[in-house]
Amino acid sequence: MVRGLPCLDHVEQLCDVCVVTKQRRLPFPQQTSFRAKERLELVHEDLCGPVTPATPGGRRYFLLLVDDLSRYMWVMVLGSKGEAADAIRRAQAAAEAECGRKLRVLRTDNGGEFTATEFASYYADEGIQRHYTAPYSPQQNGVVERRNQTVVGMARALVKQRGMPAIFWGEAVVTAVYILNRSPTKALDGRTPYEAWHRRKSAVSHLWVFGCLAFAKELGHIGKLDDRSTSGMFIGYTEGSKAYRILDPETQRVRTACDIVFDEGRGWAWDKAVDDGSTPTYEDFTVEYVHFEGAGRVGSSSSPSVSTPVPEPPPTPTPTHPRATTSTTTSSSPTPPQPATPRTPAPTATPPSTSTPTPARVEHSPVEFATPLSHNEERIDAYHDGELLRYRTMKDLLGDQPVPGLVPHDLEAQLHLACDDGEPRSFAEAEGHAAWRAAMQSEMDAVQENRSWELADLPRGHRAITLK
């Protein structure tokens, strides 16, 4: 081929430089060399997620288990990886009781949820072998990995074909597994996983199009002229019962029923049920105010509410007032609050014609303090720091005007609401002070650094807990 090149023999020598600079991964076998001979002899397992967005129940993961012999699958939708161990135990107990055999080998990857000490000890006590895949080698657990792709792709198609919101992916995943267990597969020579596992053929006459329109019969006490059925959306099959799961998109509630008329040619009109045509509209919560007409300096007290379970104070009150204004405006109230003064809404129990309290508060005498108690130790907390305790009179706290909406004997509750402890009553009040802004920023940084909370949408029909 060329001139001047000496004849070289093949040198049987390992070149370190070539290996370091050119090494590639070894090819994986096209098919496995081992196939289980009995049910539960080998079970493949994998955890898929996190999935965005979360389901209405706040779940972001699903756990998939596949029996090696029958290719039968079990699926569980989980809220976090920490729930995987308990879910596996429940699935194992149900499978062992159903087929009458003990699980022998469980094959997973090296995820922390599968390698925990407690999890390993449990299976060691049960006499179950653990097989782990090599790092970065999901091909060694290809049975469940390939099934994962099939399930996710089918769930995506089920949601897409009816234009459903993505938050219903959990119902689609469960339905996809239900259908695949009753569909023939090449790994079983045309048989279905259901037949290979249960040793009998499955019935498919009860299958319907996922997401189609469904009319469920009303079986309660209804009037002579009331509707005999309620329309909804078919989202799956009930486990352990000959019934279907029907979702009412307007109330976001799921009901189980067996007397149903399906319209497979139509789906739910999501453009009527939602504002933007993509995701359901969650009702905003309303902030309740407590207003004292003549109570010193306190004009209103609001219960801080949050739209996400995040504990930092600054973002909490900010969306509260616009939401409260929007919610009140859309209601049937004849006197909506003015947007210019969202912190002091008009009281509902006091007529608007009372104009005398304003000069009364202006001419009120200076603050009067009562004689301190002789024993204050039980009223001093860890933040007292030696400061002199002062007690104000009830007249100075509540003023001369009667307190609307509260019984007269509830003085302790009134004192708690009207007493000034030096802390701001709202985010707007705290934002005006540099010290409080620094404290709020420090709190947010600590929460973010420690990953104490995870941002999530508030599920429909739920009220967020309050935080101080």
3-state SS, one letter per residue, for the chain: CCCCCCCCCCCCCCCHHHHHHHCCCCCCCCCCCCCCCCCCCCEEEEEECCCCCCCCCCCCEEEEEEECCCCCEEEEEECCHHHHHHHHHHHHHHHHHHHCCCCCEEEECCCHHHHCHHHHHHHHHHCCEEEECCCCCHHHHHHHHHHHHHHHHHHHHHHHCCCCCHHHHHHHHHHHHHHHCCCCCHHHCCCCHHHHHHCCCCCCCCCCCCCEEEEEECCCCCCCCCCCEEEEEEEEECCCCCCEEEEECCCCEEEEECCEEEEEEEECCHHHHCCCCCCCCCCCCCCCEECCCCCCCCCCEECCCCCCCCCCCCCCCCCHHHHHHHHHHHCCCCCCCCCCCCCCCCCCCCCCCCCCHHHHHHCCCCCCEECCCCCCHHHCCCCCCCCCCCEECHHHHHCCCCCCCCCCCCHHHHHHHHCCCCCCCCHHHHHCCHHHHHHHHHHHHHHHHHCCCCCCCCCCCCCCCCCC
- Angstrom CA distances, 232 to 215, 250, 319, 320, 365, stand at 6, 9, 33, 33, 64
Cα 59 to the chain's mean position, in Å? 5
Low-confidence ranges of the chain (pLDDT < 70): 1, 10-11, 271-422, 467-468
Query: DSSP 3-state assignment of 402?
Result: coil
pLDDT at 428: 82
What's the pLDDT at 171? 94
Nearest to 105 by CA among 63, 45, 43, 47: 43
Name the phi and psi angles at 301, rounded to 5.
-140, 125
pLDDT of residue 423: 74
- At residue 143, the 3 state secondary structure works out as helix
Task: State the Cα–Cα distance between residues 83 and 50, nearest whole angstrom.
Answer: 13
At 198, list the tokens: 């249960």
Determine the pLDDT at residue 110: 85
pTM of the full structure: 0.56
What per-residue confidence (pLDDT) applies to 357?
Answer: 45
Q: Which helix (H) or strand (E) holds 193?
A: helix 193-198
SS (H, E, C) 310-365: CCCCCCCCCCHHHHHHHHHHHCCCCCCCCCCCCCCCCCCCCCCCCCCHHHHHHCCC
Q: How many CB atoms lie within 10 A of CB 65?
A: 22
How far is Cα 150 from Cα 186, in angstroms, rounded to an integer? 14
**pLDDT, tens digit, 9 for 90 and up, residues 101-121:** 999 999 998 888 888 888 888
Looking at residue 3, its pLDDT comes to 84
Helix (H, G, I), strand (E, B) or coil at 266: strand
Which residues 6+ apart lie within 8 Å of 208 measured at CB?
Answer: 214, 234, 244, 262, 264
